[in-house]
Amino acid sequence: MTRQRVLQLLLLAGALAVSVLTALQIGVVDLPLWSLLTGQATDPLPQQIFWQLRLPRVLLAGLAGAALALCGALLQLLSRNELADPYLFGVVSGAALGATISSLLFPALALALPAAAFAGALIAILLVLTLAQRATTQGMQSLSTLLLTGLAVSFCASAIASLLLYQADSFAANRIMFWLMGSLSHADWLAVQLLAVSLAVTLVVCSLGRRQLMALAWSDDMAKSLGVAVSRWRLLLLLLCALLTAVVVAYCGGIGFVGLMIPHLIRLLFGGQILTLLFGSALGGAIFLIWVDTAARSALAPQELPIGILTALCGSAFFLLLISRRRSPNE
């Protein structure tokens, strides 16, 4: 990596640190951040709010943003399609179906919803990969098969979930609707740890396999002729993406557009070189979601806005801006 790229990434990392510190200070309760961090605070209430609520929430926002944006960038590279995002491959629909079933069967169990959503997401992605693999061995194009299978599984899971919701009582339906709009209010340390480990593993795999990724992003033939075990690498990276998305969806619900928008933005700002794109997307996604979550919990405080609504608004505004800027001067 050139010195310029390293500087760009360091700049983003600095912006992330500032974002975390600022977001920690914004909230319904004013917290003495410095004395809390240095252990000088004695009052238990601010301590509890800081360590049990605000810190895990800000960290989860950062990690979820990083995970979604990194998955988006990875999937765009792997599918050679700038419109790919983590919600492809049926992950969200699978998670929503899992959440719906758990809400209907175990409405009182708090942990059942994220667990069922996680299971639903993983089952969906495994189904997509298995079906796509079978179609590919029968001679179909692997990439388009994968995208089409993802779409098919996605629609099927959505249809079943809608049917169940249609039959369900309005309380369960409301609960699921709210979950689907996305929220970080269920943040806890387990979610933070799970996501941090999955994210770290994915980043290490991407760094080690940077050459393989570069070749895969180019073309399957190029990668094969350079000795890359194409199917094995693609499967590994897709599974990592599925894992990251499933954890995010299970704990935070539906947060759209981050995986689509942030890699585009990073490509615009820093160019499309692999490591800059992947690490830049992770950092950029973290910064973005921390700020959006801060806005979601403080704009109408003490009421919370679903975060998915805000990310979708930002995403559509971003793409409209992009389209208007792309228009040639003659038009």
Partner 1 sequence: MTDTSVLLQCQKVQLQLPGGFVLGPLSFALEAGKIYGLLGANGAGKSTLLQVLAALRSPDQGQVLLQQQPLQQLEPRARARQLAYLSQQQPPTDMTVQQLLQLGLMPHKALWQADSRADKAAMEAALSQVGLADKASALLRHLSGGEQQRAHLARVLVQQACILLLDEPVNHLDIRYQHQLLATLRCSGLTVLASFHDINLAAAYCDELLMLQHGELLAAGTPAQVLQPQLLEQVYGRPCLVDTSPFGQHCRVTFAPECR
Q: Looking at 163, 271, 317, 322, which residue binds partner 1 (CB under 8 A)?
A: 271
Q: Minimum distance between the CB of residue 217 and partner 1, rounded to whole angstroms? A: 7
Per CB under 8 A, the segment of 25-33, 60-68, 203-211, 292-300 that binds partner 1 is 203-211
Q: Looking at 171, 178, 189, 218, which residue binds partner 1 (CB under 8 A)?
A: 218
Per CB under 8 A, the segment of 216-224, 252-260, 294-302, 310-318 that binds partner 1 is 216-224
CB atoms within 10 A of CB 260: 24
Per CB under 8 A, the segment of 22-30, 248-256, 269-277, 318-326 that binds partner 1 is 269-277
Q: Looking at 76, 102, 212, 294, which residue binds partner 1 (CB under 8 A)?
A: 212
By CB under 8 A, residue 14 contacts partner 1: no
Q: Minimum distance between the CB of residue 104 and partner 1, rounded to whole angstroms? A: 46
By CB under 8 A, residue 219 contacts partner 1: yes
With respect to partner 1, which residue has the nearer C-beta, 162 or 219? 219
By CB under 8 A, residue 5 contacts partner 1: no
With respect to partner 1, which residue has the nearer C-beta, 7 or 190? 7
With respect to partner 1, which residue has the nearer C-beta, 163 or 229? 229
Q: Looking at 6, 197, 208, 269, which residue binds partner 1 (CB under 8 A)?
A: 208
Q: What character string, x for contact with partner 1 (CB under 8 A) and - otherwise, covers 222-261?
A: x-xxxxxx--------------------------------
By CB under 8 A, residue 32 contacts partner 1: no
Say whether the peptide bond before residue 302 is cis (omega within 30 degrees of 0). yes
Maximum C-alpha span of the chain: 67
What's the 3-state SS for the chain?
CCHHHHHHHHHHHHHHHHHHHHHHHCCCCCCCHHHHHHCCCCCHHHHHHHHHHHHHHHHHHHHHHHHHHHHHHHHHHHHCCCCCCCCHHHHHHHHHHHHHHHHHHCCCCCCHHHHHHHHHHHHHHHHHHHHHHHHHHCCCCHHHHHHHHHHHHHHHHHHHHHHHHHHCCHHHHHHHHHHHCCCCCCCCHHHHHHHHHHHHHHHHHHHHCHHHHHHHHHCHHHHHHCCCCHHHHHHHHHHHHHHHHHHHHHHHCCCCCHHHHHHHHHHHHHCCCHHHHHHHHHHHHHHHHHHHHHHHHHCCCCCCCCHHHHHHHHHHHHHHHHHHHHCCCCC
With respect to partner 1, which residue has the nearer C-beta, 220 or 304? 220
- Positions in 119-148 near partner 1 (CB under 8 A): 139
Binding site for partner 1 (CB under 8 A): 2, 139, 208-209, 211-212, 214-215, 217-219, 221-222, 224-229, 267, 271-273
